[in-house]
Amino acid sequence: MDAPYELLETLEPGIARVLAHNPSAFTYYGTQTYLVGEQEVAIVDPGPDLSDHVEALIRAIGGRRVVAIMCTHTHRDHSPASRALANLTGAPIIGCAPLALESVGPRADAAFDGEYTPDRVLQDGESVEVDGRSIVAVATPGHTSNHLCFAVGGALLTGDHVMGWSTTVVVPPDGEMAAYMASLDKLRQREDRVFYPAHGPPVTNPQQYVRGLMGHRMQREKQILRLVGEKARDIPDIVAKAYPGLDPRLETAAGGSVLAHLLDLEKRGLVVQSEQQWTRT
């Protein structure tokens, strides 16, 4: 892909990014690692442990003090390079809690990083100081239960919770649709001026964009309810009806999203399942 891999791009004063060379159906052009600060820096979402990417980040740091290496969550396209960077810079790993789950069947997106070991876990509202500015943790469970966004100035680094190119994968058992929707509503009520996702372009109309994401999920829920209201269906049948012409590489992710919706609907007493068949109550 024609993308600015391993180059430092300044987005605004005190926020720059380096794109890792790990393009895929789930990462778009790759993982965007953010450098926050000028005289000193924090590294947000260090990304995959690729030697070219780590070397590019060391060049981008340019001898400045690294205050923290911060991870939004522990999928393997986000946190593994934290260890190499910590070894090279001496900086602490700070951010989300450790989380590693074994997958049931093929994963819909990146697997968890089982070796992630933070020096400090941030709770909602806790912060790290860089260049006299606070980077504040905003807890946003849903994509994963340990997901954090990071607010600095009027910008929000959104990891995978809100992406600039695609809807977010929400796959049980750790991904939970109700938590994801609540986290979206939490961001809707904030006053951030821009989102910087880990994948895809910046979001310059955050509140409008989040309302659109919430509306999309609500429409999907209504569609699933209609389909299982017609007759009992399994998840592959729902995916085939709800996602016509879907890229085969995304079928597992779509199935996971449908399952997340169904489990949420089941908790609310709107659907029941029997032998992998789902029916409207």
pLDDT at 102: 56
Q: What does the pLDDT read at residue 166? A: 87
CB-based contact 76:66 (threshold 8 Å): no
* Best CA proximity match to 69, nearest among 24, 102, 33: 33
In this predicted structure, what is the pLDDT of residue 107?
45
End-to-end CA distance of the chain: 47
165-188: b or e for each residue (b if 16 or more CB lie within 10 Å)? ebebbbbeebbbbbbbbebbebbe
Q: What is the pLDDT of residues 8-37, one digit of tens each?
A: 999 999 999 999 999 988 889 999 999 999
Helix, strand, coil percentages (3-state) for the chain, rounded to 5, are 30, 25, 45
CB 53 within 8 A of CB 3: no
- Name the token pair of 117: 């070991």
pLDDT at 165: 86
Q: What is d(CA 184, CA 1) in angstroms, rounded to the nearest whole number?
A: 31
For 57-74, how does the pLDDT look when each residue is reduced to its tens digit (9 = 90+)?
Answer: 999 999 999 999 999 999
Provide the pLDDT for residue 110: 60
Give pLDDT, residue 212.
Answer: 97
**Nearest one of 151, 155, 156, 78 to 118, comparing CA atoms:** 78
Residue 138's pLDDT is 98
What is the structure's pLDDT at 104? 43
CA–CA gap between residue 199 and residue 41 (Å, rounded): 21
Beta strands in 177-242, from DSSP E residues, in sequence order: 194-197
Confidence at residue 100, expressed as pLDDT on a 0 to 100 scale: 64
Q: Which stretches in the chain have pLDDT values below 70?
A: 1-2, 100-110
